[in-house]
C-alpha cells in the first residue's frame, strides 16, 4: 500500500511537471515525455499489468488536463500499449540493475518510438502527413529526446545499486 501511494504521488508530481515545465524544453516543437518515462520505469519495476494501468490512467489524465489532443484517450491508448509492451522487460529482482544501466536507455528508446509511432499515426490521420513523415519527423525525434532525458533517472538508479 505504501508503494502504491508513492507511485500515485510521483504520478501527480510528474503530470504537473510535464504540463508546466516540459513546454519550456521544446526544441523545434519536439518535447520529451517524462510521463512515458515514468510508465516505463513502472514496467521495469512492477511488470506489464501495473504499467498498463498506470499508462492508461496517466494518459487519460494528460489528455483531460492538457487538452492538446483532439482525440480524447489517444495518450491513454499509446501509453497503456507501451506500458504493456515494455512490461516484457520486467525481471524479478533485476529492476534496479536494468534501470541503472544503458539497457534502460534502449528500453526507453524502443518504448518511446512505439508510443510516438502509435500516437502520431492515429493523430495525423486525415491530414496530408504521410505515415513515413509521421514516423521520421514526429515519432523519431520525440523518441530520441525522451531517451536523452531518461539519462537522468538512469543515473539516479545507478546510484541506488549496492556497491
**pLDDT tens digits for the chain (163 residues)?**
899 999 999 999 999 999 999 999 999 999 999 999 999 999 999 999 999 999 999 999 999 998 766 788 999 999 999 999 999 988 888 888 999 999 999 999 999 999 999 999 999 998 999 999 999 999 999 999 999 999 999 999 988 766 5
Q: Tell me how far apart the alpha carbons of residues 33 and 41 are, in angstroms, rounded to a whole number.
A: 13
- Quickly list DSSP for the chain: -HHHHHHHHHHHHHHHHHHHTGGGG-BTTB---HHHHHHHHHHHHH-HHHHHHHHHHHHHHHHHHH---SSTTHHHHHHHHHHHHHGGG--TT-HHHHHTSHHHHHHHHHHHHHHHHHHHHHHTTTSS--HHHHIIIIIHHHHHHHHHHTHHHHHHHHHHS--
Domain boundaries, the chain: 32-158
Amino acid at each position: 500500500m505504501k508503494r502504491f501511494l508513492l507511485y500515485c504521488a510521483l504520478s501527480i508530481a510528474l503530470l504537473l511537471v510535464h504540463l508546466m515545465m516540459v513546454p519550456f524544453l521544446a526544441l523545434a516543437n519536439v518535447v520529451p515525455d517524462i510521463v512515458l518515462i515514468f510508465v516505463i520505469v513502472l514496467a521495469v519495476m512492477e511488470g506489464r499489468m501495473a504499467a498498463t494501468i498506470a499508462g492508461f490512467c496517466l494518459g487519460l489524465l494528460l489528455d483531460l488536463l492538457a487538452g492538446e489532443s483532439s482525440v480524447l484517450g489517444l495518450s491513454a491508448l499509446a501509453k497503456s500499449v507501451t506500458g504493456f509492451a515494455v512490461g516484457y522487460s520486467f525481471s524479478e529482482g533485476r529492476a534496479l540493475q536494468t534501470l541503472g544501466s544503458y539497457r534502460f536507455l534502449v528500453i526507453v528508446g524502443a518504448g518511446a518510438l512505439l508510443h510516438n509511432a502509435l500516437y502520431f499515426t492515429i493523430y495525423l490521420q486525415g491530414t496530408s502527413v504521410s505515415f513515413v513523415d509521421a514516423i521520421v519527423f514526429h515519432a523519431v525525434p520525440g523518441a530520441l529526446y525522451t531517451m536523452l532525458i531518461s539519462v537522468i533517472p538512469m543515473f539516479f538508479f545507478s546510484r541506488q545499486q549496492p556497491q
